[in-house]
C-alpha cells in the first residue's frame, strides 16, 4: 500500500442553502448583508471584525475598503478580471465585484481553451510521456527529465499564464449576490502581499492539464498537480469568507490510473504556505476534494508565522488536509465535518498536526458513519500537538486526541504553547455545537451574503 503523500503536489442573515457538491447559485440581487453584530453593512466595503481570528491581529484586514471610484470594478469575463487586478505590485486599494461565473480557460475573445490548446506547439503528448517514464524501463529513483518532461513543463507554463490570477495587496474580491458568482478552472495567487479579502465566490474545477509523475513520492510514486483554487504564499492579513470550493463537475472518481496511480489533476482548495501569516478562514464550504488545506509546505518552514484561524466552515466529501498543519499556531473551532463517503471521496483523516504545529481544536462537530473509526479523524507525525476540547462526534462530546493516540504509534502531543484570544463568534455551549450541522447548512458558503 502506498504511503500517504504529505508534500505539496479552492445573526441573522438572509440565507440560501448551498449545495456542497455543485457550483452554488445565489438568489436575489442585493448588495447588503444583514449582520446581527454590525447592523446593515455594505458587502463590498465590509472589513473583518475585531478579534475575529488571526487575520484581525495588528492592523486587521480591511482589503480594498479605501478604494476610490477609479479602482472599483465590476467584472464578468476573464479579460476584465485581469485588467481589474492590474499589477501584483500595485498597492492601490481596489474592490473587484465578480458578476456571474468567469471561466479562466477562455481567451480574450471568450473562446474556450482546452488542454490541447495549451499542449499545442510544445511537443507534449501524454502517450509519449507515459512511454518515456514508465517505471519498468525508466526506473523509480529520479524525477522525469528529457524531451517529454521539458515539453510537459512548457505546456503547463502556458496553462499557468492563462489561469493564474495574481492578487495585489489591499484588495477586496467579492461575488455579486444573485449572479452565481465564481471562478471556474482558476487559481487565485495571493503571494507576498498584505491585506486581502476574498468572499462570496464559488471556486470550481481548478484542474492541471499536465500533472508531473514523481516515482519517488511515497512507496509507489504519485502524479502531482500544480494549481490550488486559492493559494497563499508569503501572504499576510488574508480573510477568506463565505466561499464554496469543489472539484465539480470533474470528480476524482473519473480520473484514470497510470503506472498504477491515480492521474490526479486537482491540488489544494485553499493552501496557506511559504510563511504566510495572520489568516482567517471562515464560513466556507469545502466539498468533493482530496487535499483540501495545507498550512506550511515544508517541515522546515521557520517558526513564528503560519498563524491561522479556521472557524464555522463545512467539510463534506473531504479526504484529508482539513487542515494539515505545520509549524504554526492554528485555531480550529465551530466547524462541521461530515466524513460520510461522498462521490468516491472517503476520509483518510480530517486534522493533521505535524512539524511541531500547535493546534487548538475546540467545539467542532463530526458526523461519522459506522464505517469510519473515530481514531481516523486526526493524524500526526509524533511532533505536532492538538489541544482538543468540546469536540462532538454524532452529538456526543469525544476526546479525539485520546482516541487517536490509543490507536497510533506516533502520539499527538496534548498541550500547546499558546492560548487563543482572537475568538469573536466562538460558540462553546453544547447546544450550539450540536446545532452546527443545521446552522452552518444555511450560513456557510457562496451565495449566502446579500
**Number of neighbouring beta carbons within 10 Å of residue 336:** 24
Phi and psi angles of residue 106, each rounded to the nearest 5 degrees, phi first: -140, 150
Q: Return all residues near 144 (Cβ < 8 A) that are at least 6 apart.
A: 129, 132, 133, 138, 152, 212, 213
- 355 vs 94, 218, 412, CA distance in Å? 37, 18, 11
Q: Which DSSP string do the residues of 182-234 spell out, in sequence order?
A: EEES-EEEEES-EEEEEES-EEE----SSPEEETTSTTT-EEE----SEEEES
Among candidates 310, 316, 156, which has minimal Cα distance to 224?
156
| Maximum separation of any 2 CA atoms in the chain, in Å | 66
Residue of 152, 199, 321, 326 marked active site: 321
Q: Which DSSP string do the residues of 303-318 spell out, in sequence order?
A: TT---EEEES-EEEEE
8 carries an active-site annotation: no
469545502: which residue's cell?
286
**Number of neighbouring beta carbons within 10 Å of residue 385:** 20
Catalytic residues: 321
Amino acid at each position: 500500500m502506498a504511503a500517504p503523500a504529505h508534500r505539496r503536489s479552492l445573526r441573522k442573515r438572509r440565507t440560501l442553502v448551498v449545495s456542497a457538491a455543485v457550483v452554488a447559485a445565489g438568489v436575489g440581487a442585493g448588495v447588503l448583508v444583514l449582520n446581527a453584530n454590525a447592523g446593515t453593512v455594505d458587502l463590498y466595503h465590509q472589513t473583518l471584525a475585531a478579534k475575529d481570528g488571526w487575520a484581525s491581529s495588528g492592523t486587521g484586514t480591511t482589503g480594498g475598503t479605501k478604494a476610490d471610484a477609479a479602482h472599483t470594478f465590476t467584472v464578468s469575463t476573464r479579460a476584465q478580471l485581469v485588467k481589474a487586478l492590474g499589477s501584483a505590485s500595485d498597492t492601490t486599494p481596489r474592490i473587484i465585484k465578480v458578476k456571474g461565473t468567469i471561466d479562466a480557460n477562455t481567451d480574450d475573445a471568450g473562446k474556450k481553451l482546452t488542454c490541447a490548446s495549451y499542449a499545442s506547439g510544445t511537443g507534449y503528448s501524454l502517450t509519449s510521456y507515459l512511454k518515456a517514464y514508465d517505471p519498468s524501463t525508466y526506473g523509480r529513483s529520479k524525477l522525469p527529465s528529457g524531451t517529454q518532461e521539458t515539453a510537459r513543463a512548457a505546456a503547463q507554463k502556458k496553462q499557468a499564464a492563462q489561469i493564474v490570477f495574481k492578487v495585489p495587496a489591499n484588495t477586496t474580491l467579492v461575488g455579486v449576490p444573485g449572479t452565481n458568482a465564481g471562478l471556474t478552472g482558476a487559481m487565485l495567487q495571493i503571494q507576498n502581499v498584505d491585506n486581502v479579502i476574498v468572499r462570496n465566490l464559488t471556486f470550481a474545477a481548478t484542474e492541471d492539464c499536465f500533472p508531473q509523475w514523481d516515482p519517488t513520492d511515497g512507496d509507489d510514486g504519485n502524479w502531482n498537480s500544480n494549481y490550488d483554487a486559492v493559494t497563499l504564499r508569503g501572504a499576510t492579513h488574508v480573510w477568506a469568507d463565505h466561499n464554496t470550493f469543489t472539484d465539480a463537475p470533474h470528480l476524482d472518481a473519473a480520473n484514470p490510473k497510470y503506472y498504477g496511480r491515480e492521474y490526479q489533476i486537482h491540488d489544494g482548495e485553499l493552501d496557506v504556505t511559504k510563511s504566510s501569516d495572520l489568516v482567517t478562514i471562515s464560513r466556507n464550504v469545502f466539498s468533493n476534494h482530496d487535499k483540501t488545506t495545507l498550512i506550511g509546505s515544508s517541515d522546515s518552514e521557520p517558526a513564528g508565522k503560519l498563524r491561522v484561524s479556521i472557524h464555522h466552515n463545512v467539510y463534506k466529501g473531504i479526504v484529508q488536509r482539513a487542515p494539515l498543519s505545520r509549524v504554526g499556531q492554528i485555531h480550529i473551532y465551530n466547524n462541521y465535518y461530515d466524513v460520510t463517503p461522498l462521490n468516491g471521496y472517503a476520509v483518510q483523516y480530517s486534522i493533521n498536526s505535524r512539524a511541531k504545529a500547535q493546534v487548538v481544536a475546540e467545539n467542532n462537530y463530526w458526523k461519522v458513519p459506522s464505517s469510519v473509526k473515530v481514531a481516523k479523524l486526526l493524524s500526526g507525525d509524533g511532533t505536532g500537538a492538538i489541544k482538543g476540547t468540546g469536540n462532538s462526534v454524532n452529538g456526543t462530546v469525544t476526546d479525539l486526541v485520546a482516541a487517536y493516540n490509543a490507536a497510533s504509534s506516533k502520539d499527538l502531543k496534548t498541550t500547546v504553547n499558546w492560548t487563543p484570544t482572537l475568538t469573536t463568534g466562538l460558540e462553546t455551549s453544547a447546544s450550539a455545537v450540536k446545532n452546527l450541522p443545521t446552522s452552518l447548512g444555511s450560513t456557510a458558503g457562496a451565495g449566502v451574503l446579500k
